[in-house]
Structure 1
């Protein structure tokens, strides 16, 4: 499960780059009940801000900053040393897209890419002790992270070397269903599992032109009602809704800008 008690290598924040920040904030507000708090002087200017659930930080939204980038969710993982992590990424065959930099005393961050093209970020909390997510693992909040990759073995080796993650393989249902790998932070018990990775062919990764990518899973109390809000507000459903034994009812959705995310009503919720 994802918690706000962060450890090295655990998800600690996520944000979305959008061509229209106010419109994107309104979409997710309609779907998940999030409010928007600008971290700048003019909330209509499109600058970075927080998406809040009951006044607590659930995610961030800001303008697209990388040339040619598609609108997409970016997942941040906690690190004890952003500079050392960036160096390790290059040593392990990945790429540093945005070098480590300070965020006004709140922390230090870097934007990175794994060897299969999966983009992610790291966050090192600063003197102001801004840890990241203030709410998780409840309806309307992040409850899981997932990597689609063309090379599961390579991804395990990369992230294992980078964060010390351990993985546990479980078979997917059905004939030829493949294998899903559950991810746990280093030296943590199974209840701290925070995500999974799945190997797919490049042809199945059409959103990124065949490159690996991370996406978030948000919990909901009613999957069907949530995807109705997605479509009513200009989004679409890419897959589902469907029931996954032992997991819950889920659907893969796209927001109006084509950014993908999953909504899940966990079986135990």
Structure 2
């Protein structure tokens, strides 16, 4: 079981959480689908719930942070040594800081931003909470990718903010896709060009969870009130699908291809 007990390297996806109208309903939904042990946080955390996989933090569930109407979403957070410096880099590169850096009790410092096309993401400066302590495990987060119609703009923006390098791995001009990595590192996520996709949605970061049997899980998800947006279908790395949960947040699930 891949685990981590220290802060993630800067620029690496390090945490995911969903913001919903009804965290209690989301707790029951994700326990049913992914087997999460969803635990309460201290009262000062404002109703934030911690999802555990094999006794380790895997993801968060919380109430929406704004009183203004907003959709339920999964948010991808990228690690930073200095959240304030990264916030300045976001603005300089043409993005927008939507929620300026602030301290979260003693566990970390964070902010929420949007890239030039409007895709939202978070940045996390770890203190007591390092981020996900379990990953690439059934029930845990395993990948994050950006779906955007401004493919080249996105690569330029994130390259300036996080120093990422990109490798084109897509299937020709009809399906451009690049993985991104910290300089000298292995791929840690991807960017998909949705320009030619019918029914494209506004740009967004998609969180993927690893599951043991995607066909059974997606059938159970539909029984639990979800909507199948894609799949299940076979892909280059496994069998995958995309779901919209009953409260509207979208996420991906994948059963990875066994490697001999």
Q: TM-score, normalization: structure 2?
A: 0.92
Which of 235, 239, 247 is equivalent to 2:226?
235
Q: Describe how 1:46-195 pairs up with structure 2 within 5 A.
A: 47-66=47-66, 67-126=68-127, 128=128, 130-172=129-171, 177-188=174-185, 190=186, 193-195=187-189
> What is the alpha-carbon distance in structure 2 between the residues aligned to residue 60 and residue 147 of structure 1?
20
Residue 186 of structure 1 deviates from its aligned partner by 2.7
1:196 aligns with 2:190: yes
**Are the aligned partners of 1:163 and 1:186 in contact in 2 as well (CA < 8 Å)?**
no
Q: Distance in 2 between matches of 1:160 and 1:92?
A: 9
Gaps of 5+ in 2: none
Separation of aligned partners in 2, 1:248 and 1:219: 10
**Per-residue CA shift, 1:147-204, capped at 9, x if unaligned?**
011111111111011111111002327xx5321111112331x3xx121111113963
Q: Is the 8 A contact 1:58 1:134 kept in 2?
A: yes
In 2, the alpha carbon distance for the partners of 1:13 and 1:221 equals 21
Aligned counterparts of 2:110 and 2:44: Cα–Cα separation in 1: 24
Normalising by structure 1, report the TM-score.
Answer: 0.89
Distance 2:3 2:81 in 1: 17
Cα distance between partner residues in 1 of 2:3 and 2:155 = 22
Instruction: Give the secondary structure class of the aligned counterpart of 1:171.
Output: coil
Q: In the TM superposition, what whole-angstrom CA distance separates every residue of 1:26-53 from its partner, at most 9, and x where no partner exists?
A: 101100000111113499xx81110111
**Residue among 204, 207, 213 paired with 1:216:** 207
Q: Which runs of 5+ in 1 are unaligned?
A: none
Can you list the C-alpha shifts for 1:109-157, whole angstroms capped at 9, x where unaligned?
011110010100001112x3x2110110111111110101111111111
Partner in structure 1 of residue 9 of structure 2 = 7
The alpha-carbon deviation at position 258 of structure 1 amounts to: 1.5
Count the aligned residue pairs.
254
Cα deviation, residue 205, structure 1: 3.2
Structure 1 moving runs of 4+ over 6 Å: none
Quick check: 1:97–1:113 contact (8 Å CA) kept in 2?
A: yes
| In 1, Cα distance between equivalents of 2:83 and 2:132 | 18
